[in-house]
């Protein structure tokens, strides 16, 4: 089942890329493994999954150490709490998608200083204006990026968003366009220490729109592993 799901997903990614005039190889598929157990994740890895995303540190601790040498990268995509920074750093995430708070970013920077390490991060933007969602207001994103850029151990690599939960494609597309526009605007600013390389947007229900709007990391759970059972 997993093999078939991945095959279908790759076809969909290919089709969406073609439609957008893009090369599918420039799109990183991040398999979101939350709630799923090791054997099924390992099965996905044998069928070509190379990048794994988790959104809860406690859950990631149970799995990532066992997967580390079988994957290329582990990404943290969830809300980062400052009291869990040390636990997350032990898991050595290649990328943290979800920086959206100055105080947490400062603590992360300090902790990295102690470890003498640098960390690639994305800034999470709340493009849907839903109050239930984490992320920086689009209007405040540029100034937030400028502040975070001053933290010497954090390397900003791009932006991330979660599209609006709605069946209205126009609204979802607007979220992704907002993120892409910010991405280009920030790139133009040439802020020292800031690279606008990754645009992380699109999940199972909206990744095709995200690809059309320029995503180069898509975060996919259900289309690979089936519905989640909490």
Q: Shortest Cβ distance from residue 123 to ligand PLP (Å)?
A: 14
The token duo for 141 is 């994103």
Which one of 17, 55, 104, 128 is in contact with ligand PLP (CB under 6 A)?
A: 55
Q: Shortest Cβ distance from residue 99 to ligand PLP (Å)?
A: 13
Stretch that binds ligand PLP, among 100-108, 128-136, 191-199, 201-209 (CB under 6 A): 201-209
Q: Shortest Cβ distance from residue 186 to ligand PLP (Å)?
A: 21
Residue 186 in the binding site for ligand PLP (CB under 6 A): no
Shorter beta-carbon distance to ligand PLP: residue 32 or 57: 32
The token duo for 201 is 């947007």
Q: Which of 23, 44, 28, 63 is nearest to 223 (CA)?
A: 44
Q: Which of 56, 114, 42 is nearest to 88 (CA)?
A: 56
Give, as one character, the DSSP assignment of residue 84.
G
Phi, psi (deg, nearest 5) at residue 117: -130, 160
H helix intervals, the chain: 2-19, 38-46, 57-67, 85-90, 102-115, 141-149, 169-189, 207-212, 222-225
Shorter beta-carbon distance to ligand PLP: residue 53 or 214: 53
Site string for ligand PLP, 58-97 (x = CB under 6 A): -------------------x--------------------
Distance CA 101, CA 130 (A): 17
Residues that bind ligand PLP (CB under 6 A): 32, 34, 55, 77, 162, 203-205, 219-222
């Amino acid at each position: 089942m997993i093999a078939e799901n991945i095959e279908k997903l790759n076809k969909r990614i290919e089709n969406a890329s073609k439609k957008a005039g893009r090369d599918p190889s420039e799109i990183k598929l991040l398999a979101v493994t939350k709630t799923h157990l090791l054997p099924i994740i390992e099965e996905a890895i044998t069928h070509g999954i190379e990048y794994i995303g988790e959104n809860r540190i406690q859950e990631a601790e149970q799995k990532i150490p066992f997967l580390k040498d079988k994957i290329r990268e582990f990404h943290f995509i969830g809300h980062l709490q400052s009291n869990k920074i040390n636990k997350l750093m032990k898991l050595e995430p290649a990328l943290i998608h979800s920086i959206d708070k100055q105080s947490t970013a400062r603590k992360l920077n300090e902790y990295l200083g102690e470890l003498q390490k640098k960390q690639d991060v994305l800034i999470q933007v709340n493009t849907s204006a839903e109050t239930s969602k984490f992320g920086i207001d689009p209007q405040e994103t540029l100034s937030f990026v400028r502040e975070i850029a001053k933290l010497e151990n954090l390397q900003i690599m791009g932006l991330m968003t979660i599209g609006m939960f709605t069946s209205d494609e126009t609204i979802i597309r607007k979220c992704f366009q907002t993120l892409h526009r910010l991405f280009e605007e920030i790139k133009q600013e040439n802020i020292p220490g800031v690279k606008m390389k990754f645009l992380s947007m699109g999940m199972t229900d909206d990744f095709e729109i995200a690809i059309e709007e320029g995503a180069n990391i898509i975060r996919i759970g259900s289309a690979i592993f089936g519905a989640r059972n909490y």
